[in-house]
Amino acid sequence: MSEKIVQLNEEVIKGQLKEMVRGSVEETLNELLEQEAERLTQAARYERNETRQGYRSGHYDRNLTTTSGDVTLHVPRLKGVSFETAIIERYRRRESSVEEALIEMYLAGVSVRRVEDITEALWGSKVSPATISELNKKAYVHIEDWRNRPLQGGKYPYVYVDGIYLRRNWGGEYENVAILVAIAVNEDGYREVLGAAEGMKEDKASWVNFFQWLKSRGLDGVKLIVGDKCLGMLEAVGEVFPDAKYQRCTVHFYRNVFSVVPRSRVKLVAKMLKAIHAQESKKAAREKAKAVVAQLKEMKLKEAVKKVEDSVEETLTYCDFPSEHWTRIRTNNVIERLNREIRRRTRVVGSFPDGSAPACGMWPAPNGATKST
């Protein structure tokens, strides 16, 4: 027996089989088009008879993506009769559904390379990055409409704000750009993403512009703004919403204190700080804060003492509002969840190529408000 073994190149065979199937599909579809044309004209090509309806005038080519690959349809041109085919209608529906799927995949955080692989698996051919980019431009139009929509939820007593940084490539140089984000709760208790805008950095000017933009769209009735401590934001709140109070996020406050506490003592200090915000009144919380400061002094944690003394009061603003709302308005965890989703969806991009992409390219079309429970 010969020791030579015939090896089959499976990839070549698969490619040949795929081309055979694609060719067969193309031939069948074009034959169906011919049959439809004959039915409409009541005559075969070049046939002349008394019952003939309309005339042929050549054909035009149209590409169609199938699960077997791209095929070319030779669509008959008819004079005197309208040529409507179910094949073309299915193509239109498919084209629309493919576009929607591509946009949804990209906005959901699927990388361009992964989108290419998925489209090849589903439809038999890859969609180029350029095509995906063009489709996303269509999505950006709707996103911009949503970002600039009038706010019609009535009054929004509670507003949560934060800034998230994304990388941008501008003129060949990379820089971090702040995206300012706001979520609000209306008087009926429903949360709504108010909007996001590029702020370059979290300075007063950026926050003033952001807040004024929200007001121009209908943000009204603001009683409390919840966020991390940012001097620019605090100054902007006083200027744009002079009647609103500021609540520093307690979680960020804890983290700030933990940054100067030895790791071995973080758990103990965490219990001490949480006890402050577990009190049933602002007066009791202040008394507890004094006791915590005394304990920290005994533990010789001077830096932690200073941070608590300097900042604890701005974490107690929530006590001025209905007690049933306290657990929801003393942190900006609501917006932190949104920020995590933004990071997940933009991670595949790496860096944005221009100044408009960060502000809008990360935003999916809204699904409506959600109940704040």
One DSSP character per residue, 152-182 reads: -S----EEEEEEEEEEEEETTEEEEEEEEEE
Helix, strand, coil percent content, the chain, rounded in steps of 5: 50, 20, 30
Residues 227 and 332: beta-carbon distance below 8 Å: yes
CA distances 206 to 123, 149, 179, 309, Å, are 45, 20, 10, 29
- Most confident among 52-66, 133-147, 148-162, 288-302 (mean pLDDT): 288-302
Return the pLDDT at 163: 87
pLDDT above 50: residue 91: yes
The band of 323, judged by pLDDT with boundaries at 50, 70 and 90, is: very high
Report the pLDDT value the prediction gives residue 356, as an integer from 0 to 100.
Answer: 47
Q: Is 370 left (phi over 0), alpha (psi -120 to 50) or beta?
A: beta
Q: Which of 36-40, 89-93, 101-105, 114-118 has the highest mean pLDDT?
A: 36-40
Percent with pLDDT over 70 in the chain: 70
| Amino acid (one-letter) located at 327 | T
Q: Are 88 and 76 in contact (CB under 8 A)?
A: no
User: In the prediction, which pLDDT does 64 show?
Assistant: 76
Q: What would the pLDDT profile of 173-228 be if each residue is shown by its tens digit?
A: 777 778 899 999 988 888 888 988 887 677 899 999 999 999 999 999 999 999 99
Model confidence pLDDT, tens digit, residues 245-264? 999 999 999 999 999 999 99
Kindly report the number of other CB atoms within 10 A of residue 34's CB atom.
Answer: 15
- Given a cut of 90, is residue 161 above it in pLDDT? yes
Mean pLDDT highest for which of 77-91, 109-123, 168-182, 202-216?
A: 202-216
Is pLDDT of 357 > 60? no
pLDDT higher than threshold 60 for residue 114 = yes
Q: How far is CA 70 from CA 14, 23, 298, in A?
A: 16, 10, 76
For residue 118, is pLDDT > 60?
A: yes
What average pLDDT is seen over the chain?
79
